[in-house]
Every structure is written in structure tokens, then in C-alpha cells.
A and B are shown apart, each in its own frame.
Chain A
Amino acid sequence: MIELESVAMSYGGGELLSDMTLRLLPGSFHFLTGPSGAGKTTFLKLCYGELMPSAGRLTLFGQDLRDMSRDDIAALRSRIGVVHQDCQFLDHLPLIENVALPLTVAGQAANTTELRELLGWVGLWSQRGALPPQLSGGERQRAALARAVIRAPEVILADEPTGNIDWEMSLRLLKLLVELNRMGKTIVIATHDLNLIRTTKAQVAARVLRIQNRRLHLAGADL
């Protein structure tokens, strides 16, 4: 699905990420860890085509990112659902419209029952009319997860999805992601939360990727 071949990335200065080679197979479950500023968000941005590698080959669903047109990238984002670290909502639209936004921009109408189920599932149905700035950090992250999955993507990339929420809610979100993985979705979660990783490993065959010294490592079984 997502294939990196000696991919490097720099923001203009020195290389932030070097020589990363990786294949994310369908149905796999990965955690991405590393110190703050190591480049986790950057790595995920490469995976959904917001950034271009400065070297190497990045193949998404069999297509080289370099050969993809702007419309190809737009289409790609219906196959990859992303929970952004900073959520990225439209502040003038109520929560429910923000969650349905991936459908709106594709010209599809949201199914009200499904929307209700999805929002109930992340515990936000009662907040559906609130504007994003009126929500708490955790509520925003839950909404971001709901938005990421609304178009039934094949891959879900989540950047610190449990950064602002309590353990109980984290487990609930994790349960959703594990369920989605069992349905065959590919999951990548960037997180610092070792407890979350341990808990997950008890449920699915999750692997841990670690970014350290600009390289991507497959972490040992000690986690």
C-alpha cells in the first residue's frame, strides 16, 4: 500500500529523515514512536502526499508520488484517512459538518443514521452542533478520528490521536482502531504512549517503528 525506498526528507536545511525503506502491507498495524521533533508528523505527511520526499521513491497504492497529479492526490485522500495532530477543522462549520466534510468535498451526501452512529461511537453526538473552537482538545481529537474514517479508507494514519484524552477514552478509540484493523484496514499510529502500545499488542499483532537519529527502525520485542 505504502512503500518507501531510501526515502529522505529535508525542510531545506539538513536532512531530517534519511534512507527510510519500508513496506506497509494491507491489514498491518504499526505504531510510530520517537522523541518529539524526530519527524513522526513529517513521516506521516509523506505518507499522505502532503510532502514530497527530497530523495528516494515513495509509492502509494502502486503509484509513484512524483507522478501523481493534484487530482490524484485528492483521490488518494479518500483512501487514506488521517487524524492530524492539530486536528484541522473548519472553524465556521458545526462539528457534524466537519466530520462529514470528506463526503461533502466528494459531492456525496452523508447518511444521517451512519453519521449518528459514528458520532455516538466517539461520544460526540450531543455536541454535533458545536463549533470546533468550542470543543475541548480531546473532543476535537475524537471528532478528527470520526472524520478520518467516514469515507471507509483503506489506510488510517493517526498522529497522536490520544494526546489529549483520558485513558478510558483512549482505550475506546483504540478499540475502534483495532476493530477497523480486524476489518482489514492498515493502521499507523504515531504516539508517545507506551501503555497504549502495550495494551494494543495484547489485542493485535502490532509492530513498532521508531524514528531515531534520522532513521526508521523496527523496534525490538521489548515493547
Chain B
Amino acid sequence: MSGGGRIRRLLGGLSRPQGAARVVPPSGSTAHLTVLTAGAMAFLAVFALALSLASGRLADRWSEALARTATVRISAPEAQLEAQTRAVLAILDTTPGIETARALDAAEMRGALEPWFGPDLPIETLPLPQLVEIIESPERPFDAEGLRLRLAAEVPGAVLDDHTRWRRPLVEAAGRIRLLGLMALGLIGAAMAGLITLAAQAALAANGQVIRVLRLVGARDTFIARAFVRRFTSRGFVGALVGTACGMGAVAALPAADAAGGFLTGLGFAGLHWLWPLAIPPLAAIVAYIATRQAALRMLKGIR
């Protein structure tokens, strides 16, 4: 048997009623609508998932890259600058959580300022602040607030700039975007449950006479519900399968993230994250199952 035939048979088995499910007549338009809805929702869910995972990665990267460095800026009259620098270094030496602290020399300062002021800046003659670069120890963070207080008390010209001021909003923004992505996922799931419920209710209403006959010959509610639930579950699954495949294809076709890549080119799945979207079709099937079952059992209450 050919591979195509096998797949056709597999999908056919999922979407074509067999056995007991035959008691409900085929319903063309709601069937197609359900498959389409599930497909579209799965497609959107792939993007929402990509957004959440990418912003999660971004937040991790930003907080990791920026968390470990800080700077102390010492502004003082030239005569005191060296003494104050030494005092700052002494303090930093005894501060727990700091791996290295190093005063930048004139060449480094020039290097840092060159992009802004050009190579000819007479750096020696300018009243520039002295910069001390701090690298946090990876095991434990230093207490920035404590250090700031201590510097203020002992070296009035020294100011700690630990980057949290501008790092935090960025990390927060990334976290917020991740949250929005997760909310979008939840909303997509809820919308799908709603649409499938409506489609199931339409199918149930259209088959009122069928349900009546089934009750009259002694069918239990669970039997009747199952006939509908099977259909909608398999339609939800098949639709979501196609939608997920399309969504994953579309994400894969996005321009690759490079080192200089900003946020947009980072939208995608990395490594094992590619496995996440595979959960969408089974979840869609579960959503369809619950939505249809609830709708069916609720509707059956009215028919003795």
C-alpha cells in the first residue's frame, strides 16, 4: 500500500464517521467550518507561541548580559581624583559579590569616547570623571543599594551606575510581551472553544429529529453525545494539524535571526522549542471534545 493511501486512510478514519457515529447524518457546512476554524486558530496559536517563547528568550538574554556589569563614576577635582579612585577600589575590593573592579585608564576612556567625539579629543586636559568597571561574581549578586549608600558616605564624588535603571524596563517589557503572547494563546483557545460550541449547537439543533429517534429506541445520552463528540474532536484535530503545520512552515520561513538581529528577526523557535507547537493539535482536539460534549449533554437534557 502506498504511503499516500495510508495517510488518506488514517485521516479518513479520523474524520469519516464509522460504526455508531453513522447514526448522525453527515453535515457538510458545519464540518468544513469546524475544520477551518480549528486550522485558523492553530495557525494563530503557533505565532502567539513563537512570540511568547522569543520574548522569553530575549528577556533572559537581556537580564543575563546586563546584570553582571556595573560602573562607578567618580567626579572630583583633579587633585583628589586619584585618592578617591583608590578609596573606591578599596571599598569594592571588600564588597561581597564583586568579582573584579578596575579603573579604566586614559586609553580605554579615549576608546569609549571616540565614537562620540572623534580621535583627536585632548582627553588629558578635560575634567572627565574616572570610571571604574565592576564585574559581578556569577555566584551571587552584590547589594547595589548598600554599595550606593556606602559610596555616598565614604567617597562623595562616586556614583554607582548598575544599569538596572534602564535594564529593568527592557526586561519588564520583554516579560510583558511574553505574558501577552500567553494571553493570546488563552484567548485563541477560548475563541476556538466558543466557535466549536456554536458549530456543535448548530449541528445538534439541525439533528433534533435524529436525537429524538435515538432516545426513543433507547440510546443513552452518552451514546448520542459520543456520536457528535467524535466528529467534532476529529475535525478539530485535523484542522489544527493542518493549521499548525502551516504556522510552523511560516515561522520557519521568517528571516533568520543573526547576531545583530533585533527583536523581529528573533521571532521564531529555537532548538527544542520547535516541539512546543506539536502540542497544539492534541490540545485543539481536547478543547473540541470538551466543548462538544458540554453542548451535547446540555442540549439532550431537553429531550426525553
Contacts and interface: CB of A to CB of B under 8 A. Distances in A.
Contact of A74 (B25, B210, B212, B218): B218
B219 A92 contact: no
Contacts of A101: 23, 213-214, 217
B213 A89 contact: yes
A102 B221 contact: no
Interface string A64-85: 0000001101111110001010
B23 A105 contact: yes
Given A50-B216, A82-B216, A104 B23 contact: yes
A97 B214 CA distance: 12
Contact of A78 (B23, B218, B301, B304): B218
Contacts of B304: 49-52, 70, 73
29 contacts: A49-B304, A50-B304, A70-B221, A70-B301, A71-B220, A74-B219, A76-B218, A77-B217, A88-B212, A88-B213, A89-B213, A90-B25, A90-B210, A92-B25, A93-B23, A97-B22, A101-B213, A101-B214, A102-B217, A102-B218, A104-B20, A104-B23, A105-B23, A105-B214, A105-B218, A105-B220, A106-B218, A107-B20, A107-B223
Nearest to B212: A88
A147 interface: yes
The 4 closest A-B pairs by CB, nearest first: A77-B218, A105-B219, A92-B25, A74-B220
A104 B217 CA distance: 10
Interface of B: 20, 22-23, 25-26, 210, 212-221, 223, 300-301, 304
A75 B216 contact: no
A49 B216 CA distance: 9
Nearest to A74: B220
A93 B217 CA distance: 15
A147 B218 CA distance: 12
Interface of A: 48-52, 70-71, 73-78, 82, 84, 88-93, 97, 101-102, 104-107, 147, 151
A78 to B, nearest CB: 5
Contacts of B217: 77, 101-102, 105, 147
Given A50-B304, A89-B213, A70 B22 contact: no
B213 A90 contact: yes
A96 to B, nearest CB: 13
A88 B218 contact: no
Contacts of A52: 304
A161 to B, nearest CB: 15
A73 B219 CA distance: 9
A71 B222 CA distance: 9
A70 B219 CA distance: 10
Nearest to B213: A88
A70 B300 CA distance: 10
Interface centre among B22, B218, B300 (most CB of A within 10 A): B218
Given A101-B217, A105-B223, 15 more contacts: A50-B216, A52-B304, A70-B300, A70-B304, A71-B220, A74-B215, A74-B221, A77-B216, A77-B217, A78-B218, A88-B216, A90-B210, A104-B20, A105-B214, A105-B218
Contacts of A89: 213
B120 to A, nearest CB: 90
B218 A75 contact: yes
B16 to A, nearest CB: 14
Contacts of B216: 48, 50, 77, 82, 84, 88
